[in-house]
Structure 1
Amino acid sequence: MAFSAFLVLSERFSLRRRISQGVFVTQQSSPPNHRTHLRQGAVGVAGILFFVLSAQAPLTGVAGTLPIPLGLGNGGGVPAVYLAVGVMIGLFSVGFIAMSRHVTDAGAFYAYVSRGLGKPLGVGASQAAVLCYSATQAGMYGLYGVVVQGLFQKYASIDLPWWVWTVGTICLVQALGSLNIEFGARLLAVLVVAETSLLVAFAIHEVLSGGGPQGLDLAGSFSPSAFFSGAPGVALTFAIACVIGFESTAIYAAEAKDPARTVPRATYLSVAVISIFFAFVSWMFVSYYGPDNVQDVARNALESGSATSVVFDAVTATLGSWATGAMQILLATSLIAGVLAFHNGINRYFHSLGSTGVLPAWLSRTNRQGAPYTASLVQTLVTLAMVVPFAIAGADPVITLLTWGGGVGVLALMLLYLLTSLSIVVFFRRTRFDTRRWNTLIAPMLSMALLLGATVLALNNFTTLISASGTTAVVLELTVVAVFTGGVVLGYARNRGAGTDPADPAPRDPTHDVTASA
């Protein structure tokens, strides 16, 4: 938020100087002789799907995150929690997709909330979205630095601090983020297929071998008693963390082939693939150890400081010793895929905010490949500003940077989902563009109720999520509130006498809307 305020102030100083020189520039105008349009028709359903899946970093979500809900949550009932989150997000997607037919914008949450609840709240949502993705990405960089540091120590006898590898990769991601979107989609596709193949191979082996000591026990993982055993709130919080980024399907609408069809298909596919994948793979790990034993195994691993051993030991014992080194390397590439996906998503938020006058117009510039290169550079600077202080302070990159970033990301995401659900209902009640009650009222209201309950559970388990004290939890919670509130204030300031905003246009007949006609 402070960085956004700095950008706004710098733009205003530049604007006054140009006016004093006799040059009039409207708020919405783009810098002369600069490209500002993203490349249209550049990516299809598969490309968008890989952007979404890479943001989940499947191997990271399984090896790095799964042991926590297994050990501290509801143990063998974790697979059912992933399915429950899939249902909740699926309900949210119904209204989300209905609105995507009328709003095609790279700043999805910003545009959706602006249309439904007004520009000030939309700007607040945009700042919360940038915080959500940036904090999550920064946390992933912390884990990445530790993983790569260990790899080079083990295989090359090179011992450098974690932050050296992290900063170097931040620069690499900056370069990749300035290339065309097709290249990014292809690269992410390769990385996602590589990391998921090992987990799928383990899961298939478990199915064919009949599972572990208790076999393939459906009741031990999917019954109501399994779901509500232990602390399901902890498991629910971590399951929600694993779906951060699914909504980025709408972020790429402006660059999609036939967005009216591509975005809905990619959204439903991503929700189904994410929830089923994590539910199935987690069930196989529960089956390997047995529903009655898995919580003790995971808790012991957490207490010994080797949480990843829950997954690494099982895969190595099943597939062979070669799998250990392969997983270590694939965990690093999984994290690269994740941070690149978040980098691309944040770029497009900055591009959208620059295009609509919320932030300086130069953020909307694109290069010859149609990539938002100035937004990419700003996003890189924001990432460095988040990561470098932890390195200077000598803080643990996993216990602090990863957990704090993930915790802030989850809270900001829940706020965004709630605001978007409400804006969907208000938008369609006001415009009547879509009169289907299930799509525009019932499903959004159901998702809002479930999301509100999930938010309460997340707050109640926040200290567990961030592995820190109550004071730290309050500070991080207030950070989300402060960023959102600051965005709302910025929205009011920018909206005062500013005229029409492309993200909040006057209602129009959907029959004349190209994105709604398909």
Structure 2
Amino acid sequence: MTQLESKGVAASAKRTLQGSLGVTAIVFMVVAAASPLTVVGGAAPLGILIGNGAGFPTLYAISAVILLLFAVGLAAMTRHVPRPGAFFTYIGYGLGRPSGLAAAWTAMLTYTTIQVSVYGYIGYLLEITVVSLGGPDLAWWLYALAVVGLVGILGYRHIDLSSKVLGVLLVAEVAIVLALVAAVVFNGGPEGLSAAPFEPANVLSGSPGVGLMFAIAAFIGFEATAIFRDEARDPDRTIPRATYGAVIGIGVFYTLASWGLVMAWGPNGIMAAAEDPGTLMLRTVALYLGTVGEIIVNVLLLTSMFACVLSFHNVLTRYQHAMAGAGVLPDRVAGVHAKHLSPHVSSIVQTVTAAALTAIFAVLNLDPLLQVFTWFAGVATLAIAILMAATSVAVIVYFARTRADRRVWNTIIAPALGFVGLAVSAVIIVVYFPIMVGDVDGDGNPVFGAVSWALLALVVLFPVLGYAQAAWIRRRRPAAYAKLTDTIAG
């Protein structure tokens, strides 16, 4: 072996990721995961139609407040637990190693299900777009697999490349939505501009529980700022700022955008307009920005979803990398590429996983929109609410035990309030979960059928897997178990 080859092998064996990502780059990464245009064009119309109608925009603001309270405790932990891994690491430090492993596998479920759900959606959109342009009518899963491959190529390379791609796409998405809101404000809307979406009577109308489920789902990914700790510049300052920036930015943007959507048709007319939720955004853009705007939104909707799956790919690969570094996954998954300084093995594993799941959905002949997207987005929403609630408890326990941070607001009050909000949200999501997967009776009321129970079982199975693995490692590999975290819990 040559000297150069020896250096390359040594470099690829490094376990620590490196980079110089700043606040803006990390915010772009996690906000892109939220897929702004997909949320405004897809989730918001559904939240209006089967949620609480004209009062839906307020639920984005409420979700932002709950998650901002959660973020206070998360930011405190990032300063005192200088390791990547987010839920996995913080719950492990606060509640012990077994709970940490349970959180790790639940997080894997969350990000995997939300990622594959979007692969289904983007495959569906590419299929109908190509056909509308006179192209061949190919199956949705072929397009989805092509996107999986492209994401895998970008994920294999240095994180800076992904952040630049995501940054460009995100700016374009935000710009077109803000242009639409500006056009609505300038035009005044059919019923004039008003604060009707924030009036209590509208907020509590219809099914606000369903609307809250869609609102919280829109924030999935913001908490992943901590995953990029090793690749951040001055992480003790960058990560907390990026976390707050992501929550506030997402909350303000979605509240404003959905308010603009309601004003575009009027508080009294939005429900009728949302009867076809899949085309509401395009019809609104065509009405206020013309045909050119409609074409631009069509294109950006596809790039928005691509940005989403690329961002979640990066999050998943780093979660796997952190788990491998802790001895939970095979050691090789913790490898870092000599040139790209990326978790390249983990990236390959994630690409294969996404491709395999897409192939399974194709074999089962699942509908890409009504089943792949809707079902698994519902699973991810419930799992993330539970994870964040558990993390809030872990923050309180950790600082009560260590006294490393004596700020009462940051370590007790805010996390406690965040826990209450998240716990209530999780209960509401479970109650209304059947609606997301189509298990309803003749009157449209939620009924827990086979599909609902099967999907909810995943949210139970994965943390149980984590507890079982912790018990196995403790019994068979006590030295590895002792290194899972630096705490003495568990």
TM tier relative to shorter chain: over 0.9
Residues 414 and 455, structure 1, Cα contact 8 Å, conserved in 2: yes
- CA separation in 1, counterparts of 2:34 and 2:16? 24
User: Residue in 2 aligned with 1:310?
Assistant: 280
User: Residue in 2 aligned with 1:407?
Assistant: 378
Residues 38 and 372, structure 1, Cα contact 8 Å, conserved in 2: no
Matches within 5 A, 1:272-351: 272-298=248-274, 300-301=275-276, 307-351=277-321
- CA separation in 1, counterparts of 2:245 and 2:483? 29
Helix, strand or coil: the match of 1:321? helix
User: Are 1:193 and 2:174 an aligned pair?
Assistant: no
TM-score (normalised: structure 2): 0.93
User: Residue in 2 aligned with 1:515?
Assistant: none
- CA separation in 1, counterparts of 2:88 and 2:369? 31
Residues 473 and 480, structure 2, Cα contact 8 Å, conserved in 1: no
**Given the alignment, which residue of 242, 245, 268 partners 1:269?**
245
The answer for unaligned runs of 5 or more in structure 1 is: 1-30, 302-306, 508-518
Residues 61 and 242, structure 1, Cα contact 8 Å, conserved in 2: yes
User: Residue in 2 aligned with 1:304?
Assistant: none
- CA separation in 2, counterparts of 1:467 and 1:46? 39
- CA separation in 2, counterparts of 1:378 and 1:104? 26
User: Are 1:498 and 2:479 an aligned pair?
Assistant: yes
Helix, strand or coil: the match of 1:126? helix
- CA separation in 2, counterparts of 1:33 and 1:229? 59
Matches within 5 A, 1:95-244: 95-210=73-188, 212-218=189-195, 220-244=196-220
Helix, strand or coil: the match of 1:371? coil
The superposition leaves residues 228-252 of structure 1 with CA deviations (integer Å, 9 ceiling, x where unpaired) of 1111101100000000000011110
Helix, strand or coil: the match of 1:43? coil
User: Residue in 1 aligned with 2:452?
Assistant: 473
User: Residue in 1 aligned with 2:368?
Assistant: 397
Helix, strand or coil: the match of 1:308? helix
The superposition leaves residues 97-146 of structure 1 with CA deviations (integer Å, 9 ceiling, x where unpaired) of 00010123332110001100111110110000011000000000000001
**Given the alignment, which residue of 387, 394, 398 partners 1:427?**
398
More off after superposition, 175-184 vs 496-505: 496-505
Deviation of 1:213 (Å) = 2.2
Residues 124 and 140, structure 2, Cα contact 8 Å, conserved in 1: yes
User: Residue in 1 aligned with 2:5?
Assistant: none
The code of the aligned residue for 1:433 comes to: A
Helix, strand or coil: the match of 2:227? coil
Helix, strand or coil: the match of 1:199? helix
Deviation of 1:182 (Å) = 0.7
Residues 88 and 100, structure 2, Cα contact 8 Å, conserved in 1: yes
Helix, strand or coil: the match of 1:347? helix
- CA separation in 1, counterparts of 2:95 and 2:342? 30
- CA separation in 2, counterparts of 1:142 and 1:157? 20
Helix, strand or coil: the match of 1:447? helix
The code of the aligned residue for 1:350 comes to: Q
The superposition leaves residues 298-332 of structure 1 with CA deviations (integer Å, 9 ceiling, x where unpaired) of 1x21xxxxx22211101111011122222121111
Residues 95 and 421, structure 1, Cα contact 8 Å, conserved in 2: yes
The code of the aligned residue for 2:247 comes to: V
User: Are 1:253 and 2:192 an aligned pair?
Assistant: no
- CA separation in 2, counterparts of 1:251 and 1:101? 13
Deviation of 1:501 (Å) = 4.9
- CA separation in 2, counterparts of 1:495 and 1:109? 21
Deviation of 1:467 (Å) = 2.6
User: Residue in 2 aligned with 1:486?
Assistant: 465
- CA separation in 1, counterparts of 2:14 and 2:474? 22
The code of the aligned residue for 1:429 comes to: A
- CA separation in 2, counterparts of 1:196 and 1:168? 26
User: Residue in 2 aligned with 1:457?
Assistant: 428
- CA separation in 2, counterparts of 1:229 and 1:506? 47
The superposition leaves residues 47-103 of structure 1 with CA deviations (integer Å, 9 ceiling, x where unpaired) of 100111110111111111111111111111011110000000000001010001012
Residues 110 and 379, structure 2, Cα contact 8 Å, conserved in 1: yes
- CA separation in 1, counterparts of 2:96 and 2:19? 29
Residues 126 and 302, structure 2, Cα contact 8 Å, conserved in 1: yes
Residues 15 and 325, structure 2, Cα contact 8 Å, conserved in 1: no
- CA separation in 2, counterparts of 1:425 and 1:42? 31
- CA separation in 2, counterparts of 1:76 and 1:338? 27
The superposition leaves residues 316-352 of structure 1 with CA deviations (integer Å, 9 ceiling, x where unpaired) of 1101112222212111111110000000000001100
User: Residue in 2 aligned with 1:375?
Assistant: 346
- CA separation in 2, counterparts of 1:203 and 1:63? 13
- Number of matched pairs: 469
User: Residue in 1 aligned with 2:417?
Assistant: 446
Deviation of 1:209 (Å) = 2.2
- CA separation in 1, counterparts of 2:280 and 2:114? 23
More off after superposition, 342-351 vs 59-68: 59-68
The code of the aligned residue for 1:251 comes to: I
Deviation of 1:160 (Å) = 1.1
The code of the aligned residue for 1:107 comes to: G
User: Residue in 2 aligned with 1:18?
Assistant: none
- CA separation in 2, counterparts of 1:174 and 1:38? 21
User: Residue in 2 aligned with 1:20?
Assistant: none
Helix, strand or coil: the match of 1:505? coil
User: Are 1:355 and 2:331 an aligned pair?
Assistant: no
TM-score (normalised: structure 1): 0.88
User: Residue in 2 aligned with 1:77?
Assistant: 55
The code of the aligned residue for 2:161 comes to: F
Helix, strand or coil: the match of 2:479? coil
| Identity of matched residues, % | 36
Distance 1:278 1:33, change over 3 A: closer
Deviation of 1:502 (Å) = 5.0
RMSD: 1.5
Helix, strand or coil: the match of 1:73? helix
Deviation of 1:39 (Å) = 3.7
- CA separation in 1, counterparts of 2:368 and 2:402? 48
